[in-house]
Chains A and B, each alone.
Chain A
Amino acid sequence: MRLVLREALNVFRRAPALSILSITTIAFSLYVVGLFGLVALNLREALRGVEQRVEVVAYLLRGTPPESIAQASEDIAAFPEVQRVTFVSEDEALTRARAELVEFRDAYRDLTVNPLPASLEIQLKDGSRDAVHAQLVAERLRGIGFIDDVRYGREWVEKLDRLRNIGGLVGMSIGLAFAAVAVVIIGVTIRITVLQRAREIAIMRLVGATRGFIRGPFLLEGALKGLLGGILAVIMCYVSYLLFRNQSELATSGIVFFKTPQMLLGILFGIAIGLGGSLVSVGRQLKNV
């Protein structure tokens, strides 16, 4: 193992320019993946804020006894998708309308009879704030006798769903494309190293080194380059994040950076593509050396 490590590290000593080139190309590939990751992460954070507002509102028939409402509230709160149920009385609804709907303030002021119904505002749990779950809850609510109507802003919940799916899909596709590019780049650099060391490999084979032993340093080299490229990419992403965050107009927008597990995952991803590139290249090249 010591020899495998020594041989892998020797590559960096013997061909520093090539090593730096491959590490920086890996780093830049991962950096682009990282930037998309950051955008996706911040998009998700932003959508989460919007999602908080996804709720189902059940309008109640006038004259529903408070006991029935309390009982129904308890039952609805026990739905697996439901986080919280809030009762909004007719008076509260009017007060809110007067405060929020400024344009109709005059119309609401002169009312003698409150036209607004009481309602139950149902907030969904994290993970259930999508069109499918909202519709599911709405259908169950419609089965309750004193519930007159159920609204959950179906269209925009569905739009939000679509936006999130498209965002995720685009991010993942571009990320995968760049990861594939990184694999090819690592494969090419390992191939160059294999060709550079063809003489050494031929001698290793002549004196009876096993294939595994010959491959070991190349695989480790790929993994090390992936590791270094991954770390460099995380640093570059962080610098970009800092530069972005320090823009005065964005200072209050609350953009976020990767958490430690996500950074480690990125570095692991670097190691994985480094290893993948080496495996493909070494497998193909060593047959002929």
Chain B
Amino acid sequence: MIRFTHVDKHYSKGAALKDVSLHIAKGEFVFLTGHSGAGKSTMLKMMFAELMPTSGDVRVSGFNVNEIRPREIAKLRRRLGIVFQDFRLLEDRTAEENVAFALEVTGAHRDVIPSKVMRVLTQVGLAAKSHAYPTELSGGEQQRVAIARALVNDPAILLADEPTGNLDERATRGVFQLIREINAGGTCVVMATHDLDLVKQATYRTVEMRDGMVVFDSGTDESTTEEEL
């Protein structure tokens, strides 16, 4: 599903990733942990082709990120759901409109949009607040809208960059539970977090980053074949 092979990423100020090799299988849940600047976000950005590796090979859901063309980036992202710490919702649109936006911009047929939107809003427990604007929702609810938007195109992979970073403890538990349920439904989840309490709550694979390197990986199964990519 996702494979990094000897990936390096250099900026003028230094290296962000150093010789990272990693394989994430279909349906897996992986925590990316580490301090700020450890390279978690850089890895996630490479997964959705926002950043290109300086050297090495990155493959995601059948796409070779090193050689991806601008037109293919859109195709890749339609197979992914992406969630951020700051929600990235449009303030002038309701929860429903924010979710529908992801379908509209990918050219979904108008007739199917309302039912799909309602399905995912129900899934994240916000059907009753579909007409609320982001400013009328709590942080946890806003993140649920963002997750609903990420899910509405039925992605194979959900990438979450510190999705609970701005939430209180109760909201964090709720959002994390929701992400676990999404994974239980078969969606591969890669979640970057520095919240170790959250990591300890479950027995998912954990990849720890430090100074751009993978220093610990609890997943040891390297037997995955190329066909799975």
Q: Do A and B bind each other?
A: yes
Q: Does A242 contact B (CB under 8 A)?
A: no
Kindly identify which residue among A3, A199, A210, A213 contacts B88, using a CB–CB cutoff of 8 Å: A199
Cα A61 to Cα B23 with chains together (Å):
106
Query: CB-CB < 8 A to A210: which residues of B?
Result: 71, 74
Within A196-218, which residues are at the interface with B (CB < 8 Å)? Answer: 199-200, 202-211, 213
Knowing A199-B90, A203-B90, A207-B149, the reply to whether A213 touches B105 (Cβ < 8 A) is yes
Q: Does B4 contact A (CB under 8 A)?
A: no
Is A208 in contact with B90, judged by CB distance below 8 angstroms?
no
Cα A204 to Cα B101 with chains together (Å):
8
A148 to chain B, nearest CB (A): 78
Interface string of A1-33 (1 = CB under 8 A from B): 011000000000010000000000000000000
Within A126-185, which residues are at the interface with B (CB < 8 Å)? Answer: none
A203 — nearest CB in chain B belongs to which residue?
A: B88
Mostly, the A contact residues are helix
A202 — nearest CB in chain B belongs to which residue?
A: B88
Q: Does B75 contact A (CB under 8 A)?
A: yes
Query: CB-CB < 8 A to B88: which residues of A?
Result: 199, 202-203, 206
Is B74 in contact with A209, judged by CB distance below 8 angstroms?
yes
Within B95-118, which residues are at the interface with A (CB < 8 Å)? Answer: 101-102, 104-107, 110
Query: CB-CB < 8 A to B101: which residues of A?
Result: 203-204, 207
Knowing A199-B88, A199-B90, the reply to whether A207 touches B70 (Cβ < 8 A) is no
B163 to chain A, nearest CB (A): 14
Knowing A3-B104, A3-B105, A213-B105, the reply to whether A207 touches B77 (Cβ < 8 A) is yes
Q: Does B48 contact A (CB under 8 A)?
A: yes
B49 to chain A, nearest CB (A): 10
Is B106 in contact with A207, judged by CB distance below 8 angstroms?
yes
Cα A199 to Cα B87 with chains together (Å):
11
A to B CB contacts below 8 Å, 19 in the list: A3-B104, A3-B105, A14-B92, A202-B88, A203-B90, A203-B101, A206-B77, A206-B88, A207-B78, A207-B82, A207-B101, A207-B105, A208-B74, A208-B76, A208-B77, A208-B80, A208-B102, A208-B105, A209-B106
* Additional pairs, 11, CB under 8 Å, beyond known A208-B80, A208-B105: A14-B92, A203-B90, A205-B77, A207-B82, A207-B149, A207-B153, A208-B77, A209-B105, A211-B70, A211-B74, A213-B105
Query: CB-CB < 8 A to B82: which residues of A?
Result: 206-207
Query: CB-CB < 8 A to A2: which residues of B?
Result: 110
B146 — nearest CB in chain A belongs to which residue?
A: A203
Query: CB-CB < 8 A to A202: which residues of B?
Result: 88
Cα A135 to Cα B75 with chains together (Å):
69
A10 — nearest CB in chain B belongs to which residue?
A: B92
